[in-house]
Structure 1
Amino acid sequence: MNAQIGREASLNGIEPKVPEHIMPVVKAIGFIEERLNEPLDVKQVSGHIGFSEYYFHRMFLSVLGESVAEYVRKRRLSEAARRMLAKDEKLIEIALACGYDSQEAFTRAFKTMFGMTPGVFRKRGRMSLEKKPATIDMMLHLEEGGLTMQPVIVEHKEELVIGMGGSFSENPFWEINKLWDKFNEREKEIPNLKGSYALGVCMPKHDDLPVKEGDTFVYIAGRPVSTLDDVPEGMVAVKIPARKYAKFTHKGPLTNLPHTVNYIWGTWLPKSEYKHAHSPDFELYDERFDVKSLSGEIDIFVPIA
Structure 2
Amino acid sequence: MDVLKRMNDAIDYIEQNLEKKVNYKEVANIAQFSDHHFRRMFSFITGVSIAEYIRRRRLTLAAFDLKHHHVRVIDVAMKYGYDSPDAFSRAFQSLHGITPSEVYYSDASLRAFPRMTFQFMIKGAVEMEYRIVEKESFTVVGKKENVAMGEGGEFEPMLWEQLETIEEQLKPYDHSSFPGILHISNAKQSNDVTYMIATATDQQATKEFETFTIPAKTWAVFHAQGPMPEAMLKTWERVYSEWIPMTEYELDEAPEMIRSVEEKVEIWVAIKQNSTDHF
TM-score, L = length of structure 1: 0.47
Secondary structure of the residue that 2:173 maps to in structure 1?
coil
Instruction: Provide the residue aligned with 1:298 in structure 2.
Output: 265
Indicate how the Cα distance of structure 1 residues 90 and 255 shifts in structure 2: closer, same or farther if over 3 A, else same: closer
Secondary structure of the residue that 1:154 maps to in structure 2?
strand
Contact 1:200 1:284 (8 Å CA) reproduced = yes
Secondary structure of the residue that 2:243 maps to in structure 1?
helix
How many residues matched? 186
When Rg is computed on C-alpha atoms for both structures, the one with the higher figure is 2
Please give the alpha-carbon distance, in whole angstroms, between the structure 1 residues aligned to 2:219 and 2:136.
Answer: 10
* Residue of structure 1 aligned with 2:194, choices 218, 227, 241: 218
Instruction: Provide the residue aligned with 1:261 in structure 2.
Output: 236
Indicate how the Cα distance of structure 1 residues 221 and 110 shifts in structure 2: closer, same or farther if over 3 A, else same: closer
Structure 1 segment 43-122 matched on structure 2, within 5 A: 70=4, 74=7, 77=10, 89=21, 113-115=31-33
* Residue 198 (structure 1) shift: 0.8
Compute the RMSD of aligned alpha carbons. 4.3
Matched, 1:237 2:169: no
* Residue 200 (structure 1) shift: 1.1
Instruction: Provide the residue aligned with 2:159 in structure 1.
Output: 179
Instruction: Provide the residue aligned with 2:106 in structure 1.
Output: none
* Residue 174 (structure 1) shift: 8.2
* Residue 303 (structure 1) shift: 1.0
Please give the alpha-carbon distance, in whole angstroms, between the structure 2 residues aligned to 1:187 and 1:222.
Answer: 8
* Residue 218 (structure 1) shift: 2.2
* Residue of structure 2 aligned with 1:197, choices 172, 180, 204: 180
Gaps of 5+ in 1: 1-65, 95-106, 116-120, 136-141, 206-210, 290-296
Matched, 1:152 2:131: yes
Please give the alpha-carbon distance, in whole angstroms, between the structure 2 residues aligned to 1:172 and 1:268.
Answer: 19
One-letter code aligned to 1:155:
E
Instruction: Provide the residue aligned with 2:99 in structure 1.
Output: none
Alpha-carbon displacement from aligned partner over 1:51-107 (angstroms, at most 9, x marks no partner): xxxxxxxxxxxxxxx9xx95x9847837967998x996378xx9xxxxxxxxxxxx9
